[in-house]
Structure 1
Amino acid sequence: MADDFDQVALVVDWLDACRNRDLATLLDLYADDAIAECRCGEAKVSEGRAGLESYWRPRLDAIAPTAFGLEEITPTADGVVLDYLSHEGAPVRIAFTFSRDAKILRTTCAPSGQALCREVAAVEGD
């Protein structure tokens, strides 16, 4: 899709914004019509800036000491897959896709070890 920007660097910026509890910077990394799908516990989908803010605000307000630790970043054909420690310090895998204007278009996360989608499962099989 978009290959005129560093997708991995954008994911690192996302991780830094989370670590720094910088909600405004975090939200600015997302496209206006972005979707975040969380499969950690009860499935939740948040859409648009307001939806993302209501999803992220409580998670950034109460983070564990090990929160947002980097485990692994893997570029894929569709974006980037990040293994990291959640706001609670639990291992999570999140898949990012991006818009052509270098914004996060969609994220899908689940506890590490669970397949996020067919594309991620295919990467794991390589």
Structure 2
Amino acid sequence: MSDFDQMGIVVDWVDACRKGDLSTLLDLYADDGQLECTCNGTHRYRGRGELETYWRSQLNTFSSAGFGLEEITPVPYGVDLEYSVAGSLRIHASFRFSPEGKIYSTLCEPARQNSPDGCAC
């Protein structure tokens, strides 16, 4: 069992995304942290420089389209998160952590999308 709050780190990640706070977001990752995104093809980013390039464009999208927390769940080896962009596009992200309490890896992929028939608008 880890001696740091994995759920708290992911909540901090969500807050940084909502605020568009690139510096805080990057500080949550280990120096050799990595991200794999399969939302539009498979793309891998490793280390602060590559993560900064990826997150700079993503945070711009989040700030203009909106970012919502849908579900956050502890899992045996980390935390799973589901969030939405623009109120409809749902993304699933799995976080794994270094022993020092930093995000070591993030895997994001499209989540099951809500059916338009279930829209309450």
Q: TM-score, normalised by structure 1?
A: 0.83
* Aligned mates of 2:85, 2:77 — CA distance in 1: 22
Equivalent pairs counted in the alignment come to: 112
Higher strand share: 2
* Aligned mates of 1:61, 1:7 — CA distance in 2: 26
Bigger radius of gyration: 2
CA contact 1:97–1:106 (8 Å) conserved in 2:
yes
* Aligned mates of 1:78, 1:86 — CA distance in 2: 26
Shift of 1:88: 8.2
Q: Which amino acid aligns with 2:54?
A: Y
CA RMSD across the alignment = 1.8
Structure 1 residue ranges without an equivalent (≥5) = 115-126
Aligned identity (percent) is 48
Query: CA distance change for structure 1 residues 87 and 6 in 2, over 3 Å: closer, same or farther?
Result: farther
Does the residue aligned with 2:3 lie in a helix, a strand or coil?
Answer: coil
Map residues 11-30 of structure 1 onto 2, 5 A cutoff.
11-30=10-29
Q: Which amino acid aligns with 2:107?
A: T
Structure 2 residue ranges without an equivalent (≥5) = 114-121
Q: TM-score, normalised by structure 2?
A: 0.86
Does the residue aligned with 2:101 lie in a helix, a strand or coil?
Answer: coil
